[in-house]
Structure 1
Amino acid sequence: MFSAQTYDVAIVGGGMVGLATAIGLAMADLRVVVIDAGETQTLSGEARLRVSAINKASERLLNYLGAWQYLDESRAAPYSKMAVWDKDSLGKIGFDADSMSESHLGSIIENDNICQALAKRAGEFSNINHIENQRLANIAFGERESWLSLENGDNLSAALVIGADGANSWVRSQCNIPLTFWDYGHHAVVATIRTEIPHGDTARQVFLNSGPLAFLPLFETNLCSIVWSLPPEQAKALQNGETQAFERQLTAAFDGRLGYCHLASELQAFPLKMRYARHFARHRLVLSGDAAHTIHPLAGQGVNLGFLDAGAIIETITELHAKGKDIGDYAHLRSLERWRKADALEMIAAMEGFKRLFDGSNPIKKAVRDIGLNLVDNLSPVKTLFMQQAMGNKGKLPTPCQPQ
């Protein structure tokens, strides 16, 4: 660690996106400070409730950063198959890594496992100062630099501030950046489930009239993480009800695909909202990850979109720095902002379209769903395109996220 209080980049938020961005910028010889309101959790014991479906683009980024090697791979779960179906109908689609000459389609990894790996890698850089258990008290922006005051009284300055402090971003709020948002009218119920039948390294999702239910394979053969999107009153009833009643409802909702489902953790529920910041960048400021956008979890793309933000910031700021340009000048950040806003809008629109199509039991929509799923399942070129998109192999990828 170094003691200087002047940095090239100050990153507010020490989660997955913030730490990934810090490492990438440090690799370009920039001086970086990460201001983390919490601290990195040591991973042990039972499976953590918060997990992410890491696609190939995110995996490539973590390898590029040198962080993948620090993952506890005994707790990571690569999945080689995906199965999606519509409840009480014939509509279904399946994906298999073998058919695409891939070893796996993605990996289900606990968020704390990823953060722990990134923190270990960040600790190898003398030009990263990771300040934990500390919050910002004030932030101000000048023509040539920005100033940050911590709650402990320390003062810092940086050419660029990156707000990566989550969906309820303090930085976004403090900078009075307007937010477009809507409530999806659902809560996500998350839990760890022990199943009677092994998951077979398969990610599964069923579309119910009430909302999608996903079973994500974890690092034990009979252990899955679920994300069940439900109206708030139903989510609350499940939380407050008896364990056996929940298990019976879950097993029935999932068509008994994995046998009887046993609850192996507490039940948590949180409201689902779409958020989209009106500005992703301003003079000396960039918003990233959930601070800039949040989307419906039905395709598991939230963290992958955040890692694409990190990759794009790394690519853009590295190029500006190499050319000797001011990395915080908004004139130099506009192209980055347009790039990330376009990607986020495309994903938000796609998720909203999926949600509307698969919402409810309208017979016309149900017929369209059945035809659409089966059509895609039987048309190899279209199916391949869908899968490449899900794996993060399509679109304008930042350099650190591209296939080597």
Structure 2
Amino acid sequence: MKYDIIIVGGGMVGTSLACALGDSSLSIALIESHTPHYNWPEESYDLRVSAITRASQSLLDNLGVWESIRTVRTTAYQNMQVWDASGSGNIHFDSADIGEANLGHIVENRIINKALLERAKSSSNINIFCPAKPEQLTLTNDPLQSNPAKLQLDDGTQLEAKLIIGADGGQSWVRQQASISVDTRDYEQTAVVANVTTELSHQHTAWQRFLPTGPLAFLPLSDTRNSSEYVSSIVWSTTPEKAEHLCTIDQAEFLHELKTAFDAKLGKILSTGPRASFPIKGQHATHYVKPQLALIGDAAHTIHPLAGQGVNLGFADVQSLSEIILNAHNTKKNIGSLKTLRRYERSRRGDNLLMLETMGIFKKLFSNNTPGLRELRNAGLNLSNRSTMLKQFFMARALG
């Protein structure tokens, strides 16, 4: 079967790219190995959530899916409160200070995935192979690329395309098959995630407390279904040993430790759903493109989850790559040529590297409790909190 583009990976980033290209005359094959299950109980919440910036919201709106996402469940956050557990340093961001209604939305990943998949299914130019796993990738060595790239699936199906997109996550099979190496940073932390109910309202605020072992974030989920129930998604980044402990203790002990670690900002932690954990590593592909191939999203870069920016970087990749592909297609240029694809790499690699380095600096800065550095860190937070101009700059950047 012949296509213009094959996208390997049907998560939020890969499917959004398919949707961004789906209204053109390009033929798209979308490959996803896992069958999605979207018949979840209304009262349940996904363990994985994303902090969607204004730029990502705009992309999703342009794809025609934001309204359907919003009607299922999203929570806007107007404030962000950050403070240091080892001192008095704190900083507070308020969207009203920059004349905005909010700083972003907390959205469950499965809600975004479902809306994008339904949008992709509605396009006659997108053919979805699911469940299907790629088994063999062949790129041409012909400088003129007169021969297409080939991809064989696990059921023997043979696909051909001018361009292969790797959107298959941090352990990208496409990246490995293309022999693209990665620079890896082991943060020596594990993230524990859960959804919890609290005694007090989350106040539509994203909360983040920096502990010596890593940041603890409370992200606001919906509190509109029941006025007596306030739900937040937590991401607790800590040592692997502490994470294992947190995932194995009983609920009462976990709730007590969580309340203590969070300084009881939202009162008692009343209940928690299932807990899960995953190791935290930062990685960056040494290059994003080869002739007939490009990497996007986590296949190209992963960062520390403390800023909730991972998927936003992926959506920015989608915005850039889709514009470059469509421009090349409309001007009858080769969409899989290295010259075309390097425009995408140049537009995105610097921004992604900056975010990766910034997260690394934050991790080192807040995990070091040397007295002199601790005082300097707290003074820096408090000084920033008193600077309206500096906070406005940070918020404008965070909006995307």
Task: Determine which of 155, 160, 177 is the counterpart of 2:180.
Answer: 177
Find the aligned partners of 1:262 and 1:234 in 2 and give their Cα distance.
21
CA contact (8 A) 1:191 1:263 kept: no
Task: Determine which of 135, 151, 154 is the counterpart of 2:133.
Answer: 135
Tell me the alpha carbon deviations over residues 9-38 of structure 1, each in whole angstroms, 9 at most, x when there is no partner.
100000000011001112232111100111
Look up the SS of the partner of 1:358 in the other structure.
helix
Look up the SS of the partner of 1:307 in the other structure.
helix
Residue 32 in structure 1 maps to residue 40 in structure 2: no
Question: 1:96-111 counterparts in 2 under 5 A?
Answer: 96-111=94-109
Find the aligned partners of 2:368 and 2:183 in 1 and give their Cα distance.
25
Look up the SS of the partner of 1:156 in the other structure.
strand
CA contact (8 A) 1:208 1:360 kept: no
Tell me the alpha carbon deviations over residues 343-369 of structure 1, each in whole angstroms, 9 at most, x when there is no partner.
111111111111111113222222122
1:402: which partner in 2? none
Residue 228 in structure 1 maps to residue 236 in structure 2: yes
Find the aligned partners of 2:315 and 2:134 in 1 and give their Cα distance.
24
CA apart distance, 1:334: 1.2
2:227: which partner in 1? none
5+ residue gaps, structure 1: 393-404
CA apart distance, 1:88: 4.1
Residue 320 in structure 1 maps to residue 328 in structure 2: yes
1:401: which partner in 2? none
Find the aligned partners of 2:36 and 2:386 in 1 and give their Cα distance.
45
Task: Determine which of 306, 310, 324 is the counterpart of 2:314.
Answer: 306
Task: Determine which of 275, 289, 307 is the counterpart of 2:283.
Answer: 275
Find the aligned partners of 1:115 and 1:66 in 2 and give their Cα distance.
13
5+ residue gaps, structure 2: 225-229
Find the aligned partners of 1:262 and 1:352 in 2 and give their Cα distance.
33
Task: Determine which of 371, 374, 388 is the counterpart of 1:366.
Answer: 374
Look up the SS of the partner of 1:219 in the other structure.
coil
Residue 155 in structure 1 maps to residue 158 in structure 2: yes
Find the aligned partners of 1:108 and 1:348 in 2 and give their Cα distance.
21
Residue 353 in structure 1 maps to residue 361 in structure 2: yes
Question: 1:72-111 counterparts in 2 under 5 A?
Answer: 73-111=71-109
2:167: which partner in 1? 164
Find the aligned partners of 2:71 and 2:39 in 1 and give their Cα distance.
12
Task: Determine which of 101, 114, 117 is the counterpart of 2:115.
Answer: 117
Task: Determine which of 289, 297, 300 is the counterpart of 1:289.
Answer: 297
Find the aligned partners of 1:265 and 1:75 in 2 and give their Cα distance.
18
CA contact (8 A) 1:205 1:215 kept: yes
Find the aligned partners of 1:74 and 1:124 in 2 and give their Cα distance.
19
CA apart distance, 1:193: 0.7
% identical equivalent positions: 43
Instruction: Using structure 1 for the length normalisation, give the TM-score.
Output: 0.94
One-letter amino acid of the counterpart of residue 251, structure 1: K
CA apart distance, 1:75: 1.8
Task: Determine which of 201, 214, 217 is the counterpart of 2:217.
Answer: 214
CA apart distance, 1:43: 5.0
1:15: which partner in 2? 11
Find the aligned partners of 2:176 and 2:72 in 1 and give their Cα distance.
39
Look up the SS of the partner of 1:246 in the other structure.
helix
Tell me the alpha carbon deviations over residues 168-194 of structure 1, each in whole angstroms, 9 at most, x when there is no partner.
111111111111102110000000111
Find the aligned partners of 1:180 and 1:86 in 2 and give their Cα distance.
30
Tell me the alpha carbon deviations over residues 251-306 of structure 1, each in whole angstroms, 9 at most, x when there is no partner.
01111000111342111111101111112000000001000110001111111001
What stretches of structure 1 move > 3 A for 4+ residues in a row? none
Look up the SS of the partner of 2:259 in the other structure.
helix
Find the aligned partners of 1:201 and 1:344 in 2 and give their Cα distance.
28
CA contact (8 A) 2:23 2:125 kept: no
Find the aligned partners of 1:66 and 1:75 in 2 and give their Cα distance.
16
Instruction: Using structure 2 for the length normalisation, give the TM-score.
Output: 0.95
One-letter amino acid of the counterpart of residue 69, structure 1: E
One-letter amino acid of the counterpart of residue 252, structure 1: T
Question: 1:259-270 counterparts in 2 under 5 A?
Answer: 259-270=267-278
CA apart distance, 1:44: 2.8
Task: Determine which of 238, 249, 270 is the counterpart of 2:246.
Answer: 238
Look up the SS of the partner of 2:369 in the other structure.
coil
Look up the SS of the partner of 1:389 in the other structure.
helix
Q: Do the aligned partners of residues 361 and 43 (structure 1) sit closer, same or farther apart at CA in structure 2, a change above 3 Å counting?
A: farther
Find the aligned partners of 1:159 and 1:234 in 2 and give their Cα distance.
48
Count of residue pairs the alignment pairs up = 388
Find the aligned partners of 1:175 and 1:31 in 2 and give their Cα distance.
23
RMSD of aligned alpha carbons: 1.2
Which stretch of the first structure deviates more once superposed, 8-17 or 92-101? 92-101
One-letter amino acid of the counterpart of residue 364, structure 2: R
Look up the SS of the partner of 1:71 in the other structure.
helix
